[in-house]
Structure 1
Amino acid sequence: MQPSPSEHDPYNGLTRLEPSLPSSAYWDIEAYQRDLDAIWYRSWLLVCREADLAQPLAFRTFRVGTQEIVVLRDDTGELRAFHNTCRHRGSQLCRGSEGRLKARLITCPYHDWSYSLRGDLVRVPSKSLPEGFDKADHPLYRVALSVWRGFVLVNLREDADGSAETSFDPASGDLANWPLETPVSGHMLRKVMNCNWKIFWENFNECLHCPGVHKDLSRLVPIYGRGLMGRDDDPEWARHADNDAPEFPVACGPEPRHGRETGASTALSFPT
């Protein structure tokens, strides 16, 4: 395991030879299932902005691995999340990717079981019910939901508690000076990449490919032209600690070439 950076030696690169993941980690179906069980089904995942569900009865559906969930705003204004599955025969409840419910009920299109926006089963079409059947025993399967500064996150763990914020890495940076509550979604572009999720993740989190693939970006942000993402990726960072040139940025992150400006956007991908 790579040692954690310290205040006196923040270099976060390799200091000795380390084996990489075996190739099967990127194509083996059992390895993929382990990823789902250990990571995607147990972690807080960003699904949308709170403003995307601004009105009561608005909903959106999302798929994580084999699991489909629906996030909605109920008639009292509270956000809720459920597995998008009827308790009767497992039919899909909300078929569209987004929209607005026609009534203050979620009604299964298969056999008309109806649920309140709080997930409680309130109506079944059968005129006779078996002895011992209690609607209270058949609510929708709830999904943990947390709102952090306008972002909506969900967690598929049955015992998920607390808020998404408690799982954040404190070392990832202080975002207090960013007005994260105010942005709204202007446009969404979806792209399906024909690769295992780890390949995308690794590519997104390193810049070894930047000089050869992103030449314009590397000219704009000189440290990327050195194949580095930040100061602490440089094993000789201490030699340049007092150098304010953009090729050797300070600890706060990469900087554009003097006299230039740039914007940034972040994409997040979920496995399917």
Structure 2
Amino acid sequence: MNFSSGNPASAPDTAELVARRAVGYSLEAPFYTSQEVYDLDLEVIFGRHWLFACTEAELAEPGDYVTLDIGRQSIIIVRDDDESIRALRNVCRHRGSRILEDPCGSVGNLVCPYHQWTYRTDGSLIHAEGQDPALDRKQFGLKPVSVRTVAGLVMVCLSDEPPTDIDEVAAVIEPYLAPYRLQDAKVAYQSDLIEEGNWKLVMENNRECQHCDAGHPELLTAYFPVGLYAEGDYPPRMRTVLERYQAAEARLHSACAATGMPIGTHRELDGRPTGYQITHLPLDGAGISFGEAGGQVSRKLIGEISAPEFGDMSLHMQPNSWFHLLSDHAVVFRAVPIAPDKTLVRTTWLVHADAVEGVDYDVDALTAVWRATNDQDRVFVEKCQRGASDPGYEPGPLAGVEGDVEAFENWYIERLREHLGITGAHQGQLAQFSGQ
């Protein structure tokens, strides 16, 4: 394949980059480094698609809120007095001040700090000091943002016309997630990590585990990387691991059959606006959780799960999230771009609502594997960002094990092509790469 040099003077415009994207290769450098591409990502990807914002567990009581900033846009996700979840623009209708600055908290009403305009948690205006008594307050409530929950996961969309396929996706994944009762869980710990890399590099790194064998020793005490290889593609060094994987998979299938839990993979990572994949994977060792040798890290199982050896319910959602649900806890991840070369990754650990810290779980033990893994991934992403910024970079071929990376890039390019009105060879290339 022929690609342009890294010389900025010869850099093509964004539409040309999108039009000529080579299926089966990593993206060209400007997709990771260009301010113009980053601005387009905020508009088209993060401004028009369903995004994972938080869990219902973070909004346990009326008045609990989380703020989410996407570029210049800020929203408040809050539990209303009637227990429903609302999403509101974090912009006062008086003179535009930000209302809430903290990332999370609890309020009685939403009060603007500038002139004290006051809103209920449903966004309705109830106090506007000094205004004409004839002011129609119904016309000046906080602007709503589309929001919906999916089995305890709160999704938001900044567009006035959000993708309608979220209902189809929810119908598939909710039966898998429902027994974990995430809406009734408790937040045990939450961490924010700034990764010095473009958001797409963060997601691409997450979408493959070829690097796990050498890069994530803590994770591999429980996690099988072999499940990501195509049949017959297992390297010789993976043969003994494969045998353990197959035995653990058989035990997991038996456990699911005994409890009536759905099993199998649903994979639509590209080809639709709300791309997703859900799959139930076995774990190594004891097969229970991310403790030492696959051991349990919380004594109280989460939700309605009754069998400790219940593997890992893994969910990926485009464009910004991934999830791991175990028998004893859940770990949820959200990535948000904050600059062309900077991404905020938030990780939240959830346990049963009745689990008691220091009795049923220890925070350090609960979080150890993913704190280490996140930090290792941070280093990988930062190395890739530096490489993509180097004039010597050009896209390299993706291996079969990187199929989910390819699917992520396909989904991303599909969205930009649709926005830019580009048609042509991309679909033919995609079909050829997929062997269709």
TM-score range, shorter chain: 0.7 to 0.9
8 Å Cα contact 1:153/1:164 also seen in 2: no
Aligned residue number for residue 236 of structure 1: 232
Residue 261 (str. 1) matches residue 263 (str. 2): no
Q: How does 1:22-37 map to 2 (within 5 A)?
A: 22-37=28-43
| 1:22-76 residue CA offsets vs partner (Å, 9 max, x unmatched) | 1100011111122222221222222222232222222221212322111122223
- Which structure's residues are more often helix, by fraction? 2
Does the residue aligned with 2:336 lie in a helix, a strand or coil? coil
- Which structure's residues are more often strand, by fraction? 2
Match of 1:109 among 113, 126, 135: 113
Cα distance change on mapping 1:52 and 1:253 into 2, 3 Å: closer
Cα distance change on mapping 1:172 and 1:255 into 2, 3 Å: farther
Report the residue type matching 2:334 in the other structure: L
User: Runs of 5+ in structure 1 lacking a partner?
Assistant: 1-15
Does the residue aligned with 1:245 lie in a helix, a strand or coil? helix
Q: Distance in 1 between matches of 2:199 and 2:171?
A: 21
Cα distance change on mapping 1:17 and 1:65 into 2, 3 Å: closer
Aligned residue number for residue 93 of structure 2: 87
Report the residue type matching 1:92 in the other structure: R
Which deviates the most, 209-218 or 72-81? Answer: 209-218
Q: Distance in 2 between matches of 1:208 and 1:92?
A: 43
8 Å Cα contact 1:146/1:163 also seen in 2: no
Does the residue aligned with 2:244 lie in a helix, a strand or coil? coil
Note the C-alpha offset of 1:198: 0.8
| 1:178-206 residue CA offsets vs partner (Å, 9 max, x unmatched) | 44444321111111111111111111110
Q: How does 1:121-140 map to 2 (within 5 A)?
A: 121-128=125-132, 134-140=136-142
Cα distance change on mapping 1:190 and 1:244 into 2, 3 Å: closer
Match of 1:98 among 75, 82, 104: 104
Aligned residue number for residue 24 of structure 2: 18
TM-score (norm 1): 0.74
Q: Distance in 1 between matches of 2:34 and 2:175?
A: 35
| 1:1-31 residue CA offsets vs partner (Å, 9 max, x unmatched) | xxxxxxxxxxxxxxx9723211100011111
Does the residue aligned with 2:97 lie in a helix, a strand or coil? coil
User: Runs of 5+ in structure 2 lacking a partner?
Assistant: 1-21, 235-240, 250-263, 265-279, 288-292, 297-323, 325-330, 339-436
Aligned residue number for residue 212 of structure 2: 210
Aligned residue number for residue 71 of structure 1: 77
Q: Distance in 2 between matches of 1:76 and 1:127?
A: 29
8 Å Cα contact 2:151/2:174 also seen in 1: no
Which deviates the most, 260-269 or 57-66? Answer: 260-269
8 Å Cα contact 1:246/1:254 also seen in 2: no
Number of equivalences: 244
Q: Distance in 1 between matches of 2:176 and 2:155?
A: 19
Q: Distance in 2 between matches of 1:70 and 1:175?
A: 25
Does the residue aligned with 1:203 lie in a helix, a strand or coil? helix
Aligned CA-pair RMSD:
3.5
Cα distance change on mapping 1:247 and 1:111 into 2, 3 Å: same
Greater RCO (Cα-Cα under 8 Å, separation 6 or more): 2
8 Å Cα contact 1:61/1:68 also seen in 2: yes
TM-score (norm 2): 0.49
